[in-house]
Amino acid sequence: MKNQIFTKPTVTIKTVDAILDRVLAGDDLSEAEGAVLLKQTDSDTLAAIRATADQLRHRQAGDTVTYIINRNINFTNICEQHCSFCAFRRDEGDEGAYWLDIAQILEKATDGVRRGATEICMQGGLNLKAKLNGSSLAYYLRIVEGIKNEFPQLHLHAFSPQEVQFIAREDNLTYESVIGALRDAGVGSMPGTAAEVLDDRVRRILCPEKINTATWLEIVGTAHLMGLPTTSTMLSGHIETPEQQMRHLSLLRSLQQTADKREYSARISEFILLPFVGQEAPKPLRSRVGRDQPILADALLLTAVARIFLGNWVTNHQPSWVKLGLEGATEALTWGCNDIGGTLMEEHITTMAGAKGGTCMEVETLQAAIRSLGRPYRQRDTLYGKLLVGIR
């Protein structure tokens, strides 16, 4: 699959203004209208898109910028898959390969609690040896139960749809049984990662061994049905087209609409844009994309369009300071985002790809970035249900 080149439509400012006026009136955009916005290059038009996204953010989420104190734990980088964008994975025995034992995981969780964390965010590679008495689920449950026994107050935001599929496959279980067991053991929400771009033409190149679009949607929908909230993400800025970006957002919106229609107790809590970092990615994809770091202007425009397209259904939008740097993430707060993310304390997946944003952010640094915009801030919990620190 080669990069697709689309003829830029002849779109007048009046047409774009009409789209933006419709959004401000409360209507949902179509995929085609979103693609039109993503193809704009005129500076005045881009300013109008940014202003619309910012106005919707104010209306849907308010002016207070939230953040979370969390501890990230990537418990292994040994992985059976070979995604074309990933510089994190290793084979067992490779230099730099690791697999944390339970004691090391608990040590990291303890460090997080000592530094004020209310959340542990945990994901890892698909390690075929990560089993306990022959069971993958037993291994994952031991991690969850170990952390929750020590720190019952912590929210565990853990194990992506890909990891759920991996456990189910290895143990010959249904997705429902895996999700239910993890939930009952103490997992509080599921990361919406492994989504990359929800278009199988793209996935066949980016991550051919990963679950397909339908399976990702099935697992996330099942989590919502079973009362387990999720987040949502998009890996952007590589080989995908504006039309494919909009299809991805449309599928996320449909998940949320289904959860709403069926009155599920769990839904998507936030959308996080993850711009592609390719400095250390495998050479074929890096050569095809032709750059090592995200293009900030492209990420900001997609951030704005995501707010415009999803905001009626997914209220909370977050940039990635790891991928964009803190300055870029702060700028995204004026393009539709209302949350600046978490402290992380440690991050390997994006950093090993060559990201320059760092691996840990102090609370005071996040607060200062928010203050630079003249906006108030509050610490939040994982699901945005509680604001833990007063407005400053």
Q: What is the pTM of this model?
A: 0.92
- Asked whether the beta carbons of 379 and 119 are under 8 A apart, the reply is no
Query: What are the CA-CA distances from residue 285 to residues 181, 203, 208 (Å)?
Result: 37, 12, 13
Is residue 389 over pLDDT 70?
no
Residue with the two structure tokens 């929400």: 189
| Arithmetic mean of pLDDT over the chain | 91
- For residue 262, the model assigns a pLDDT of 97
d(C-alpha 76, C-alpha 57), whole Å: 37
- Asked whether the beta carbons of 341 and 295 are under 8 A apart, the reply is no
- For residue 3, the model assigns a pLDDT of 44
How does residue 288 score in pLDDT terms, banded at 50, 70 and 90?
A: low
- For residue 2, the model assigns a pLDDT of 39
Domains of the chain: 31-379 (3.20.20.70)
Is residue 136 over pLDDT 70?
yes
d(C-alpha 282, C-alpha 350), whole Å: 13
HSE (side-chain half, CA atoms, 13 Å) at 320: 26
Is residue 366 over pLDDT 90?
yes
- Looking at this protein, which amino acid is placed at residue 336? G
- Looking at this protein, which amino acid is placed at residue 53? A
- Looking at this protein, which amino acid is placed at residue 162? Q
315-318 long-range contacts (CB < 8 A, ≥24 apart) are 315/60, 315/61, 315/384, 316/61, 316/66, 316/269, 316/270, 316/271, 316/384, 317/57, 317/61, 317/270, 317/271, 317/272, 317/273, 318/270, 318/271, 318/272
Q: Tens digits of per-residue pLDDT, 247-285? A: 999 999 999 999 999 999 999 999 999 998 855 555 566
How does residue 355 score in pLDDT terms, banded at 50, 70 and 90?
A: very low
Is residue 298 over pLDDT 50?
yes
